[in-house]
Chain A
Amino acid sequence: MRLTIMNDSRFEALQSAPLDSWIALSEDESKIVAVGGSYDEVVTKSENAGVSDPVLIKTPKAWLPISV
């Protein structure tokens, strides 16, 4: 099975996302549907926005290449 995503839209959404936050992307990961300071907050906000199956991302304090 070969999956595709809206990589450019997703990237632009991440660029516009607040740092050190939780964000909820739409099911196709093309846009931000909710932003919160915690996992619980962004889950509530995405459900309030009518998106029941978002993809959540925790944004770092600064966007840098990852080496955890």
Chain B
Amino acid sequence: MSLSIPYKKYPAPTAPGGFFYAASIPVNIALPAKNAPRSKRFDAIIDSGASGCLFHASIGRAIGLQIEKGEPKQTMGVAGPANLFVHEIAIYIPGGPITTQAGFSDSLPIAGLLGMLGFFEHFKVVFDPTARRVELERLYCA
């Protein structure tokens, strides 16, 4: 099954037209345990430049993670290095949940990013700038 999702407009007063487009989808996260309560849906940006999935720490705390007890890691963003804590979680996205390692940070300026590990490894992703849509096809490896 594939899913075609329109790009979403975000305000950017300094950008041409006062906005920019990004591919994002609402996701939930939860502890990887069966029947663990999920977060509310939140907007997560699809970012092939991110090596993994990254979420705001407050969402992690809401699902029961003790953020600072995760594995500390440092990542390199375009604005410089950032510190985060890694936990195993389940991400609820189209096609069923994915259990993966994801980073959590209080300094993330947005709610979530979907990167290579945990997202792109499970989807064929096609960005179509003419239709301003992203197509997601879930991959199931034997």
Which residues on A are within 8 Å of B, measured CB to CB? 1-5, 7-8, 10-11, 14-15, 22, 24, 38-40, 43, 46, 53-58, 60-61, 63-68
Q: Which of B2, B10, B56 contacts A1 (CB 8 A)?
A: B2
Chain B residues with CB under 8 A of A40:
58, 62
B: interface residue count bin: 35 or more
How many residue pairs at the A-B interface have CB separations less than 8 Å?
Answer: 95
Q: Which of B9, B50, B58, B109 contacts A10 (CB 8 A)?
A: B9
Does B11 reach chain A (CB closer than 8 Å)? yes
Q: List 6 A-B contacts (CB under 8 A).
A: A1-B2, A2-B4, A4-B6, A53-B41, A58-B109, A66-B10
Told that A1-B2, A58-B42, A66-B22 touch, could you supply 5 new A-B pairs with CB distance under 8 A? A39-B56, A40-B58, A56-B42, A58-B111, A67-B78
Contact (Cβ within 8 A) A54 B41: yes
